[in-house]
Structure formats: C-alpha cells, structure tokens
Structure 1
Amino acid sequence: MGASRHHLFRQFSSSEWTGFRKGVEKEGLRVDRNGFIAQTPHPRALGSALTHPRITTDYSESLLELITPVFDNTTDMLASLRDIHRFVQMNLGDELFWPASMPCELDGDASIPIAEYGTSNIGQLKHVYRQGLAVRYGRMMQSIAGAHYNLSLPDEFWALWHQRLESQQSLKDFKSDQYFWLIRNFRRRSWLLMLLFGASPALDASFVKGIDHELSRFSADTWYGPNATSLRMGDLGYHNNAQSSVNICFNELETYTQTLDRAIHTTWPEYEAIGTRRGDQFIQINTSVLQIENEYYSAVRPKRTTEREEKPIEALESRGVEYIEVRCLDLDPFSPTGVSQAQVDFLDLFLLDCLLTDSPRIDDSECDRLDDNYQDVIARGRDPELTLCRSGERVSVGSAARVLLDDLEPLAEQLDGLTGGETYRQALKAQREKLADTSLIPSARVLADMTARGAGHREWGLEMARQHQQTLRDESLNDGIFADFEKMSADSLAEQASMEAGENQPFAEFLEHYLNS
C-alpha cells in the first residue's frame, strides 16, 4: 500500500506538480533591556492585536505572534516573515524580541500580563479564555514561545490524487481523510523533529522557582537537561492533566471532532470548583475539560480557516480539513526570524512522505508507544544510549533517525527533479549532517554557545536578542512595504474601534449564545 502510493506519486510530471502552500506563525516575548518580561502594553504602532492580519499576541500582552500570508514557495514566505520582523523591530523602542522558546526572566504569574483585546464581545471572549488558562494551569507555561508551520497541498494536486487513488469519496471527504493519513504518520515520526529542531535544552531559573524538577545546574540563574532537546515540549512546558482523561482520536475527522467536542462539553471537578466568575468578572469560559478547541495541546492539528465567531469544530465538520498545523517546533534562536530555509524545506519533504507512506489506524497500545518515543527524545534525545520502540523492537535513536532520513532520499530526488535544483536534497543533507556530527544538533549548539560565551540562559538570550535586533534594524524595509504595514496597523485599530462602537449585547448574553450555538 505504501509503495503503491509512492509509485503513484512518481507518475506526477513537472507540469502536474504544483508544489506546497505554506505559512508560519512565530511567537516571541517582548523583554526589557535587562531580560525581564515587558510590562508595557502591546505597542500601538503594531496595530490592534484583535484585528491585525500579521501582528497579534498569543497568551500574554508581551507575547507577540507574527503571521505570514500563505505562499507557494519557501523563499517568499521567509522574506515575508523577515519583513514583519523588521517592522516589529522598528517599533519596539528600547525593548527586545526574545529569541528563545523558553522565556526570559519572570517573577511568578503576576509578572505575565494577560493579553488585552478591547471591549468588543469577541475581544472579551479572547481575554476570558486566557484568564481561564491562568486559573487552570497558571501563567508560567503560557509564556513559552514556538513556531507553528502550516502546510497544505493545492486543489490541483488533490484532484489528481483523488483520481489516481480511484477514490469514490467526495473530494471534501477525500482531502480530510488524506490529511488524517498524513497526521497518523506524523505522530509516528514526530520524535525526529524534536531531535533535529529541538532548541530549548536550558531555561531561566525563575521559570522553575519553587518547583520540583530533575534538571541539572548550568549556572546560578540557569537549569538544563544534559541530553534534552526541547524542555518546551516536556513536563515543564505544555501539559494538561485534565486533558489526559479524554483521548483525542487522530484517526479520522469524525472521531477527532467528536472526541474534541466531548472534551468541551465534559465538566471537570477542579474547574467546577473554581467557577466561571469571580464577582462580576468572568475568569473562564466554562468548567469543561477544554474551554475551546485551541486549549487542546498537541504536536499537530488539522485546521480549517474559520469565519468570525465560527468554532473550529464547526468549520472542520462543514468544510473539511484545509491544512495541517505543525505545533512542536522550537524557535531557532540562531535565526533572526526563528526559522530557517533548510528547516522549512525539510518539513515539506517530511510531511509529504507522511502522506505517501502506509498509515494504518493507531490503536491505544501504539498511541502509548508513540507518546513514549516522543517524550524520551524530548527529555534525552542526545543520549547515545537512548533506544526507541520501532516496529516492536528497541532501536538506538541515532539508528532510527538515519533509517527515516535514508527513506526520504528517493522522494527528495524526485521533488528536485520536478522543481529543478537541489532544494530537497540539500535540506535532507543538512539534517544528515546533524546525525553525523551531533554537535550540530540545535539543542547541543545552544548549550555549546552558552558555554563559549560564559553566559547563562538569560544573558545568552539577551546577547542573541541584541544581535538579531541590530541585524534586522540595519536592513532597510522597502518604503512601500513599510507604508503597507503602517496602513494595516491603522486599519486594524479602526476596525477594532468600529466593532466596539457597534455592539450593545451584554457579554454574559453573548457568551451564553456562543456556548450554546
């Protein structure tokens, strides 16, 4: 089955292959010159965080999120991301843009300002959702940053693929099934991305103040995992005990939306005890395992663009899967924009192969093994003694990684043949070099660079932030592009003001309607 899909893909000609559709969402903290989380409001020059199409905030008022449009090639996408960064850096004043996934210096929950989105009901809903995250998990883990990579294949590909697989499904259902086929294989292999791109082996001591942990001391203000790849994705990062009570199924769209919907409508005793209000103030949207779909933490998500006030589940059920969102990527702290060309091109190759390789349904026992592999690589992926469970056998992590990369070689050659050049073979070569010389693995590079500079995580992050800021500010932003950004900021502020002026429905009534719709 797997070979036949690869065989069918080999029949694509260069005129039939229309490439990938891609975009990036990149998060990062604003910090002051001493490396402490910024206490200032979202800069007005960056527009409205509620309505700006390119620049918003994630959990915190200090946690920027930069969003590219969708592109059909890596070069233009990364150029767009760099332009957004340049505009942001021009409007940060004395502040810096933190380059690492694990945060700067914090001083407990109170030091992390929750994002504000104004007085419109949608704006208040976004704020109350974040208040809910605070009362459920605390604010510390919400200060972590990452990069999300969004990928789809164009309609022309799906029409041909539908035909060549001789599917009897509607094209909408076929596309959704195929994206879930890809997702199942992604879950089998996602540990490899943590090894190749995990870049958060250390953290500021303020992040774990008063918490029991098993990290080692790096310096007075820094803890680290000697063989860790991504503390961001481990137990100290994104986690949710309540969510473990509801098994979200990634086998197909119907079971995915059903299990997610169940989590949104299943109350959780601890959250019920908290309640939804403190006096007149709403402090969470509801008392369920999940307030909304976005609260579910996963390394990958099937996505569909939503209309205003439309829920993600509704969009998926009515129009099917549009793209997938890879959520497990640490920021590349050595890149001024947090991502790199070789990384994105490798992700395209990796994700396409997930679609083309046999992908049986994942049962509960396999799900547990996959989770174990993933967590083991996160915690100690650079340990040469680490073994993973692969096809019922224990295999060293290095050997398992080499097998996966070797398997990608024919597809890389084919894509380069279809597009001309050596893009995919070069991207694959860059990852092979990390296995041949483990000092090139990003998590190893971070620790080596901190050691070489004689700096803990805080001072190292500050040095990198200053360096990236200088680089981006020295690059001129095209006058036309600068004017476009200024217009987007002004338009977004006007749109927010218009939304607020045109509303008279009380928020409590709005929320009740939202929950019952």
Structure 2
Amino acid sequence: MADILQHRLHALATDKNKDAVVGIKRGIERETLRINHDGSLALTPHPASLGSALTHPWITTDFSESLLEFITPASDKIETTLAQLADIHRYTVKQLGEEGLWPASMPCFIDQDTTIPLAQYGSSNVGRMKTLYRKGLHNRYGSMMQAISGVHYNFSLPQSFWLLYQQQLGDQSPLQDFISEQYLALIRNYKRHAWLIVYLFGASPAMCKSFLAGRSSRYPFQQLGKGTLYMPYATSLRMSDLGYTNSAQSSLSITYNSLPEYIAGLHNAVSQPSAEYQDIGVKKNDEYQQLNGNVLQIENEFYSTIRPKRTTESGERPTCALAKRGVEYIEVRALDVNPFSPIGITAEQMRFLDVFLLYCLLQDSPTLSDEQQMVTEQNLRRVVTDGRRINLELIHDGNNRLMLDWAEQIFADMMPIANWLDAAYQGTAYQAALKQYYLCLLDPAQTFSGKLLNQLLSSQQDNGHFMLAKAGQYRTALLKEDYQFYTAADFSAAAIDSVQQQQQIEAADTLSFDQYITEYFAEVPACS
C-alpha cells in the first residue's frame, strides 16, 4: 500500500475516528427502454399513469419517450436505496400493460433511427427547452446513440468525515472549498483507474446489429445467431466510440485539477462555436433545430465517466451552481446496466463502489495534464474492447503494465479500506464484496461480460432473445412481489402531484421561448 494511503487510512480507522465515515449517501439513476412483447422498441407515449416526466421525483424520461429513467432519493442505507429502486420498477411495470423493461445497456431491436420518439415535457419554456436539447442531440449524433442505457451512481461523504479529514490533512481553507478540492482529487484518480470498473461491471460485449443500421464500423465484430454482433474480449460496447461520446468530444480540454479549471473548460465548450454544428443551423424556417451551434449545447452534453455535481435551482446552469456553492456529490457514469439484476445494480456492486471511491480519494492524486488524461482514456478504450484478453497491457507511469497485475495491486490496497468500512458499519459485507469481485481477476469469465457472452455462445442464442427472456422473468417477479419501501398510494399521489406541478409551471410562464433561451444562457459562471 502506498505510504500516503496507509498513513491517511491509519488515522481514519482508529476506534475514536472510524465512525466518522458512517452516513455515506448514495442515489441511483437507472435508464431502461420500454419494449414490446417481441423485444422491439415501444413507440407509445410516456404512460399518463406515471405522471409528468418533467416534475415526477422518481420516474422521468431521458432522451426518448421510450427511454425511462428511475431516480432514487439520496439515502445513507444501501438497503433503502435498493428497496426504493425495486419499488419504482414494480410500480412502473404494473402501469405498462403488455410492455416490458429492457434489461441491458445496448438497445433492443430498433427499426430505424428516425422512429425513436423525442421525450416530451409539455408546453412550458423549461419543458420545451428539454425537448429541443434532445432534438439537437438527434441532429448532431443521431437518435440511435441516445438509446443506450446506463446506471449512474451518486455518492457523497458525510460532514463528519470531511471535518475529520480536513483536520487530519492540516487544511485551513473554508470547509466547502476543501470538500470541492478533495472530490476533484477523487475524480482524477477515478479517471486513472476507471478501466477496473469497466472490466468488472461492463456487461455489453454483444448487441443487436440493428444498432449499426447499415453503418460501417472499424471494430472486427463476429456474428452470433440471426442478428447479434459481438467481440470476444469486449467488456462494454456501451462505453466504446460506437456512440458519439469519444469521437465528437475528443478535442475538448476539460480537466479536473481544480474546480475553477473544470468549470472554465466546460463553460468554454458550451460557449465556443462549432463550424460543424453551426451548419445544422439553430433555426430553419423559423423552427428550432438545436439550442445553439456551439461545441456543446449545454453542460450535460459533455460525456464523462464521472462528474462533480451540485443540485441546481430552477433555471440554473450546472456550472453556475458549482461556481456558487461548490461540489456536493459525484456522479459515477461508467456503469453498464447489470442484466443479471432485475433493477440493473446490486448491493455488492454498491459496496465495491464505496470502497473504490474511497481508495481514489485517500491515495495521492497529482494533477492530470491533457496528455496524461488522454492516456487514461486510452487505457479505458483498451479494456472496453479487449478487457478479457489474456496478458492485456495498459500504460502505467509511462510504461506498459499487465492489467491484471495492476488490478491485483489495487485490490490489495482496497482491502484495508473494506476492513475500515466493515468496522464502522459493524459487519463484513464490504470485505465480502471485494472478495467476490477479486474472483474476476482470477477468471475473466466471472465478470459480467464474461458470464453474458459465455451464456450466449454456449446456447448459440441471440443477445436479443436472451435479454427478452430476462425481461419477462424480471417482469413476472416484480409483479408478484410486494412493495418494500413505498406504497401504491405513494406512487399515485406522486403522479397526480407531478401533473399539477407541470401545469403550475406552464401557467407561470411570462417570457417568450426565445427570451427564455436568451436569459438561460445569460448567466456566466464565476470561475477565476
């Protein structure tokens, strides 16, 4: 274990201090496509019984009317978060009739890009802006790329931890400044080691060939069954540049060495005109085509495997919220939907992520130059396409290093952190989770991607047929089980309240849509 990590952990894990970490808050955002009984994309509108996608606290949509997003409130208990997420799934399935939920990251069968319906949020200015942003994404990248689903893990440490940790490091700055600085340090180390998350939890080595829709690809895909494309050592095609994520944004210089630097880089991308996107036009025949012709329409268009976050107020830009109030939590975005879980993620994954994120926080975190950040992205791409290849090498400190050798070292350094968390939470679940995923280093077939691809190949079954069967199993199980945290009445009330809130927002609008867009972009984040 590195000396700095060992020293910091030793002070935190004493009997007097160990409980300061209790109170970690977590939230889940899980995306999932609505599907028909045959596994094709459901093109029906967002069900009215689910309430307003604009204002519902737990059930909304992402890019498309067909792409649901389930959101749990921040909670300091893993069991509570999972119970909430399961109940959201359970209620939704009960409202969908014959439709189901797709249990994978790569999309189901989609006939063509143009059939994917944009998400609708009503007639208010904020609702129209959300739909227009999605129209811009369609015009820039195509809709197929936006039909990919993921799981986001929101993570924050309690005030008691930050007070102790600041004292331990001898830092004299205002507490919020210290917290923001430390979350950025965590993010830099996460960027260095995100390949491990993709190796363990990547679950999309195969996909329906309709995703390519006749487009060529540089990847050497192999074919399975009637309509499945796969790569034998791939972990997460979702994280590859099959989408727009890496290729369209690779030239952006957005770094994480300080909060002002991050905000300035992101704001520059939102403000900088793009010749390519200006050619699309902001308006054609007086109809909006996108929010603007800049490199990014808004901050959310920037794809990253992790983001520093601050809850925004109504109409507030994310960069402005960060500049005013600092980092509140982080959002881990490198997670595929776990197809072996009916709700897309498990308690064991969450515990592993807790340990991993604390490992990223507590070890030394030097600044990352643009060139060094490109190396981290290169390592990630190698694991995305070839993560289970024997003797795969990554770049570590300027030299080639066996991926599994590097992973072994990380696991060894994480075990004392798991011991500390188990002592604080009075159990053994963190050590058990670490031991469970350590088996994936000994045998790549134990990873999610390895398990999935082995099942497909051994049965010679199309990925789509496998996922459709899983969707049916999960739907049946969810319908049979009772609510664990919420009640049916809670969901009915939330749906009614959300519709009323949307109506109030629409009634309160006083600006024209053009004025609203102008004023939204008028505020500039203060980042010296």
Q: Which secondary structure does the structure 2 equivalent of 1:498 belong to?
A: helix
| Alignment partners' CA distance in 2, 1:295 and 1:362 | 22
Match of 2:257 in 1: 251
Determine if the alignment matches structure 1 residue 9 to structure 2 residue 17.
no
* Unaligned residue ranges in structure 2 (runs of 5+): 524-528
Shift of 1:278: 2.2
Cα distance per residue 1:47-75 (max 9 Å; x no partner): 10000000000001100000001111211
1:242–1:289 contact (8 Å) kept in structure 2: no
Cα distance per residue 1:23-80 (max 9 Å; x no partner): 1000000011111111100011111000000000000110000000111121111111
Which residues of 2 match residues 63-462 of structure 1 at below 5 A? 63-213=67-217, 214=219, 215-462=221-468
Calculate percent identity across the aligned residue pairs.
Answer: 44
2:84–2:486 contact (8 Å) kept in structure 1: no
Q: How does the TM-score come out when normalised to structure 2?
A: 0.96
Q: Which secondary structure does the structure 1 equivalent of 2:192 belong to?
A: helix
Shift of 1:171: 0.7
For structure 1, which segment, 29-38 or 430-439, has the greater mean C-alpha deviation from structure 2 after superposition? 430-439
Shift of 1:245: 2.4
Cα distance per residue 1:287-320 (max 9 Å; x no partner): 1100100000000000000011011001000000
2:50–2:495 contact (8 Å) kept in structure 1: yes
| Alignment partners' CA distance in 2, 1:370 and 1:120 | 41
Count of aligned pairs: 517
Shift of 1:475: 0.5
Q: How does the TM-score come out when normalised to structure 1?
A: 0.97
Cα distance per residue 1:330-382 (max 9 Å; x no partner): 00001000001110000000001111101111123322221111110001100
| Alignment partners' CA distance in 2, 1:330 and 1:2 | 29
Cα distance per residue 1:198-235 (max 9 Å; x no partner): 00000001001222222111222010011000000001
Shift of 1:454: 3.4
For structure 1, which segment, 173-182 or 476-485, has the greater mean C-alpha deviation from structure 2 after superposition? 476-485
Shift of 1:472: 0.6
Shift of 1:242: 4.0
Q: Which secondary structure does the structure 1 equivalent of 2:339 belong to?
A: coil
Match of 1:25 in 2: 29
1:260–1:293 contact (8 Å) kept in structure 2: yes
| Alignment partners' CA distance in 1, 2:35 and 2:135 | 22
Superposed CA RMSD? 1.4
Residue 193 of structure 1 aligns with an amino acid whose one-letter code is I
Residue 135 of structure 2 aligns with an amino acid whose one-letter code is Q
Match of 1:468 in 2: 474
| Alignment partners' CA distance in 2, 1:458 and 1:217 | 13
| Alignment partners' CA distance in 2, 1:502 and 1:389 | 55
CA distance 1:8–1:479, change in 2 (3 Å): closer
Shift of 1:250: 1.2
1:46–1:55 contact (8 Å) kept in structure 2: yes
For structure 1, which segment, 313-322 or 8-17, has the greater mean C-alpha deviation from structure 2 after superposition? 8-17
Shift of 1:446: 1.0
Question: Which portions of structure 1, spanning 4 or more consecutive aligned residues, are displaced by more than 6 angstroms?
Answer: none
2:87–2:485 contact (8 Å) kept in structure 1: no
Residue 196 of structure 1 aligns with an amino acid whose one-letter code is L
| Alignment partners' CA distance in 2, 1:108 and 1:10 | 55
2:225–2:460 contact (8 Å) kept in structure 1: no
* Unaligned residue ranges in structure 1 (runs of 5+): none
Shift of 1:418: 1.9
| Alignment partners' CA distance in 2, 1:191 and 1:16 | 30
1:228–1:377 contact (8 Å) kept in structure 2: yes
Residue 274 of structure 2 aligns with an amino acid whose one-letter code is W
Shift of 1:501: 2.3
Q: Which secondary structure does the structure 2 equivalent of 1:244 belong to?
A: coil
Cα distance per residue 1:244-295 (max 9 Å; x no partner): 2221011110100000000011000011111111223211111110010000
For structure 1, which segment, 212-221 or 329-338, has the greater mean C-alpha deviation from structure 2 after superposition? 212-221
Q: Which secondary structure does the structure 1 equivalent of 2:21 belong to?
A: coil
Q: Which secondary structure does the structure 1 equivalent of 2:320 belong to?
A: helix
Match of 2:526 in 1: none
Residue 368 of structure 1 aligns with an amino acid whose one-letter code is M
2:21–2:157 contact (8 Å) kept in structure 1: no
| Alignment partners' CA distance in 1, 2:252 and 2:90 | 42
Residue 243 of structure 1 aligns with an amino acid whose one-letter code is Q
Shift of 1:452: 4.0
Shift of 1:479: 9.9
CA distance 1:452–1:486, change in 2 (3 Å): farther
| Alignment partners' CA distance in 2, 1:72 and 1:94 | 35
1:267–1:289 contact (8 Å) kept in structure 2: yes
CA distance 1:480–1:314, change in 2 (3 Å): closer
Q: Which secondary structure does the structure 1 equivalent of 2:304 belong to?
A: coil
